[in-house]
Amino acid sequence: MKMITAIIQPHRLEEVKKALYDADVNLITVSEVLGHGRQKGVDEYYRGSKESGNLLRKIRLDIAVNENFVEPTIKAIIKGAKTGKIGDGKIFVVDLPQVIRIRTEERGEKAIG
């Protein structure tokens, strides 16, 4: 299992959600976050998304998936989020040792989706 965390531009959220649903990825956590990439927020200022100092408003997605969903999930995020401009975002993939569905106490691959 993997935890896929993506930081995307807020205005791409609907497109990313659509692409994820098309890929049968239906369980996501969405958070509003602040951040900057290697331009330190400076060159994205014109888009009007500046929030605090040089930090910009971004959307964070957290998606826990079984191994066979890792590539489809990555592709869907790219499909929805990519404009080719700076600040399009980043995808982080980390190993996920355990998932527990609280209601049923199922664990692992059974609990994830």
Residues lying near Mg ion in the complex (CB under 5 A): 37, 39, 86-87
Distance from C-alpha of 39 to C-alpha of 86, rounded to nearest angstrom: 8
Residue 57 lies near ligand ATP (rule: CB under 6 A): no
- The entry of Mg ion, ligand ATP, none near residue 25 (CB within 5 to 8 angstroms by kind) is none
Residue range at the interface with ligand ATP (CB under 6 A); choices 18-26, 61-69, 70-78, 80-88 = 80-88
Q: What are phi and psi of 86, to 5 degrees?
A: -55, 145
Residue 81 lies near ligand ATP (rule: CB under 6 A): no
Residue 62 lies near ligand ATP (rule: CB under 6 A): no
Distance from C-alpha of 80 to C-alpha of 61, rounded to nearest angstrom: 13
Site string for ligand ATP, 8-37 (x = CB under 6 A): ---------------------------xxx
3-state class percentages of the chain: helix first, strand second, coil last, to nearest 5:
35, 35, 35
Residues near ligand ATP (CB under 6 A): 7, 35-39, 56, 58, 86-90
